[in-house]
Amino acid sequence: MLPVLFRIGGFTVTSFGVMIALSFVVGGWVLARELEYRKQDPEHAWDLCGYAAIFGILGAKIYYLILHWPETAANPGHAILSRSGLVWYGGFILAALAVLFRLHRLKLPIPTFADACAPTLAAGYAIGRIGCFLVGDDYGGPTTAPWGVAFPNGAPPSTAGNLRAFGEHIPASVPDGTVMTVHPTQIYEVLMSAVILLILWKLRPRVKTPGALFCIWLVLAGIERFTVEIFRAKDDRLLGAFSVAQLISVLIVLVGVAGYSILTRRAARHPSPATAAA
C-alpha cells in the first residue's frame, strides 16, 4: 500500500488521484490511436476525455452520495468535499451521456467512436483499479488464499469490525480491531480488464459492424464486474446475496447483447459498400 505519494505544504498527493489522472491520460492516448485506426481525427480524443473526466468524476460522486444517503444527510459538507467516495458505474453512466451529447453536437459517427472507446475504457479501468489497491479501497472478503492481502491502513482498514459492517461473516471470537487478510479484488479487476483489453484488441480487425465492438465490451465488462462482486466486501447487497452493482452489471450485459444483435442484423440487411465488396 502507498496511499500518499508526497505532500507539498498542506496539499497531499495520493496514489489514487495520480492513478485516476493517469487513467485519463492513457485513455486519451489509446483513444487517439483508435481514432487514427478508424480514419477519424485523433484530436477529438482529448476533447472527449475532458468531458469524460469532468462528468465521470461528478457522476461517480453523485452515485456514491445517493448510495450512502444516511451518511450524506448527516454530514453533507464532508460527504461532498471528501476525496473518497467515487463509484465506477455512476461515473460511467454520466460520462457516457456527456460524451454522447458531445458527439451529437459535433455530428460525429457515434457507433465508430463507441468502438474506439471500448479498448480505451478497458485500459483506463485497469489503471484506476491499481489506484484503489494502493490506497486499500474496494477490497474483498476474508480469505486464506496465499495471494490474500491485509490493508491495515486501508480506506477503511481491513479489520474484523469493518468487515462485519460490510456484512461479512466473521467469528465472534475475532476482536473488531484485528486486521484480516482479504481478497485483493482490485488486482482481480486489473487482471480481468487486461484480458478484456487483449480480447478487444484481437477482435478489433474482425468486427466490421460499427458499434458492435463496444457492445462486446459492455458484455465483457458486465461479466467482469458481476464476477468480482462475488468476492467484494460490500454493504449494498439489497437483493439478498446480490449487490446493486451486480444488478447494473446484468442490465449492462443485456444491453450489450441486445445492441450487438440489433446492429449485426441491421448490417446484414443493409450492408455498406465496403462490407458488400468483402
pLDDT value at position 151?
94
| pLDDT tens by residue, 65-123 | 887 777 788 878 776 766 666 777 888 899 999 999 999 999 999 999 999 999 999 99
Please give, one letter per residue, the 3-state secondary structure of the chain: CCCEEEEECCEEEEHHHHHHHHHHHHHHHHHHHHHHHCCCCCCHHHHHHHHHHHHHHHHHHHHHHHHCHHHHHHCHHHHHHCCCCCCHHHHHHHHHHHHHHHHHHHCCCHHHHHHHHHHHHHHHHHHHHHHHHHHCCCCECECCCCCCEECCCCCCCCEHHHHHHCCCCCCCCCCCCCECEECCHHHHHHHHHHHHHHHHHHHCCCCCCCCHHHHHHHHHHHHHHHHHHCCECCCCCCECCECHHHHHHHHHHHHHHHHHHHHHHHHHHCCCHHHHHC
Question: Which residues of the chain carry a pLDDT beneath 50?
Answer: 274-278
pLDDT at 85: 67
So what's the pLDDT on residue 269? 82
